[in-house]
């Protein structure tokens, strides 16, 4: 049980650090400029935290654990990239198809970010835990 908690804490810390740099520095104004009135001024923190927790669990389950079991960083990174691609692609394409004025330019960028984020978190987690 303690190894599961350690895996989660390492991955969660990596996820938060990387995603906060993206959201707070690199893409600070991007989402506001692209989504404008669709964005809320009051983040619903329970939903955001639930996303973060579940997304990190997914990275561990689908990428880090199989990679550790195989003793393969490349397996970890491949699985993480696919996980990030399919999860962010699902969100972006669904949003684009059902939300009026969802910016098409954001779709590809956000999917790419999902791949980078997932792969980076998995790399950090695998490297620390292996």
Per-residue confidence (pLDDT) for residue 45, from 0 to 100: 94
Per-residue confidence (pLDDT) for residue 49, from 0 to 100: 95
**pLDDT for residue 128 is more than 90:** yes
- Number of other residues whose CB lies within 10 A of the CB of residue 25: 8
- CA gap 87, 119 in Å, rounded: 13
Which tens digits make up the pLDDT trace of 27-45?
Answer: 888 888 998 888 888 989 9
Which tens digits make up the pLDDT trace of 82-126?
Answer: 999 999 999 999 999 999 989 999 999 999 999 999 999 999 999
Per-residue confidence (pLDDT) for residue 24, from 0 to 100: 86
Per-residue confidence (pLDDT) for residue 35, from 0 to 100: 87
Place of tokens 């960083």: 73
Mean per-residue pLDDT of the chain: 95
């Amino acid at each position: 049980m303690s190894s599961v908690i350690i895996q989660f804490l390492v991955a969660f810390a990596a996820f938060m650090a990387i995603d906060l740099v993206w959201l707070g520095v690199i893409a600070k104004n991007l989402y506001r400029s692209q989504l404008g009135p669709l964005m809320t001024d009051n983040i619903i923190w329970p939903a955001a935290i639930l996303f973060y927790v579940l997304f990190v669990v997914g990275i561990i389950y689908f990428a880090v654990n199989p990679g550790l079991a195989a003793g393969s960083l490349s397996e970890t990174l491949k699985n993480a990239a696919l996980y990030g691609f399919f999860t962010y692609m699902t969100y972006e394409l669904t949003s684009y198809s059902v939300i009026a004025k969802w910016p098409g330019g954001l779709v590809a960028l956000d999917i790419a970010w999902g791949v980078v984020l997932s792969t980076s978190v998995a790399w950090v987690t695998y490297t620390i835990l292996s």
